[in-house]
Amino acid sequence: MARTKGLPEDFFVQCFISGLKDAIKNQVTMFQPNTLTQAIDLALLQERAMEAILKEAKGVNKGGVSTMNSFVPKKSDSSRLPPVKRISAVEMQERREKKALLLL
């Protein structure tokens, strides 16, 4: 510790940041920490954020339950949808004209 007595705080901050992984390094540098404590806190925060993102990308939440299938409709859900009615070009034009009249 005696060898580092005359060095400025910015030196320690830059040394710490230079040893971080690139993804974390960029995020910490963006916030321009002034002290080593700030740099360490930011690095820990970014590391936790990245872990959460990776965990979510893998599809597992805190309870160990997959979250990936929650957005995919089940096969039985599609059977509840009403059938699509196809209309002719003439009928489509009539509907457009009717709608245009309603908007006036």
Q: Is residue 22 part of a domain?
A: yes
Is residue 8 within 8 Å of residue 28, measured between CB atoms? no
Read off the pTM.
0.53
DSSP 52-100: HHHHHHHTB-TTS-B-GGGGSPPHHHHHTSPPPPP--HHHHHHHHHHHH
The 10s digit of each residue's pLDDT in 49-69 is 988 888 888 765 555 555 555
Q: Is residue 76 part of a domain?
A: no
Give φ, ψ of 84 to 5 degrees.
-85, 130
Q: Is residue 87 part of a domain?
A: no
Stretch 90-101: mean pLDDT? 88
Q: Is residue 91 part of a domain?
A: no
Tokens of 68: 């990936």
Tokens of 34: 């002034």
Give the domain range for residue 18: 1-62
